Amino acid sequence: MTTDRRPRLADVYPGLVADIVRALRLEGPKSASFAETFQELLFYGPCPDHGPPCLVTAPPGTPCPAMTEVELDGETLAMFHLDVDDTAKMSITHVEVLDGRELDPPA
Ligand SMILES: [Zn+2]
């Protein structure tokens, strides 16, 4: 097998992704479109830079110059680290989970 196909974050942590997608949809139309891409994010493993509970969702070495928080029910749910390309399209490079939930190590 030479393929390095990664699992989707949504397949590894379905509960987490469901909560984040729900939070993004509650934030309004702009974030709702972000929610669609969030469900397709691939999971590259735990983050070596920020430590647990940060999850890497872009190939290692992808720059992440921007950050944004997502809240659910008034609590900070997660911090996204973002890469912004030439067309101002944002992609999520890291997801730092900040609500204190237990994340099972990936199988
Ligand atoms: Zn990280």
What's the 84 CA to ligand 1 centre distance in angstroms?
A: 16
Q: How far is the CA of 30 from the centre of ligand 1 (A)?
A: 24
Supply the DSSP string of 61-99, one letter for each residue: T----EEEEEEETTEEEEEEEEEE-TT--EEEEEEEE-S
How many angstroms separate the alpha carbon of residue 81 from the centre of ligand 1? 7
What string of pLDDT tens digits covers the 107 residues of the chain?
555 689 999 999 999 999 999 999 998 887 887 888 899 999 999 998 887 799 999 998 899 999 999 999 899 999 999 998 888 778 899 999 999 998 877 66
Using a CB cutoff of 5 Å, list residues around ligand 1, an ion. Answer: 47, 49-50, 54, 94
Q: What is the 3-state secondary structure (H, E, C) of 22-37?
A: HHHHHHCHHHHHHHHH
Domain residue spans of the chain: 9-97
Query: What separation in Å is there between the alpha carbon of 74 and the centre of ligand 1?
Result: 23
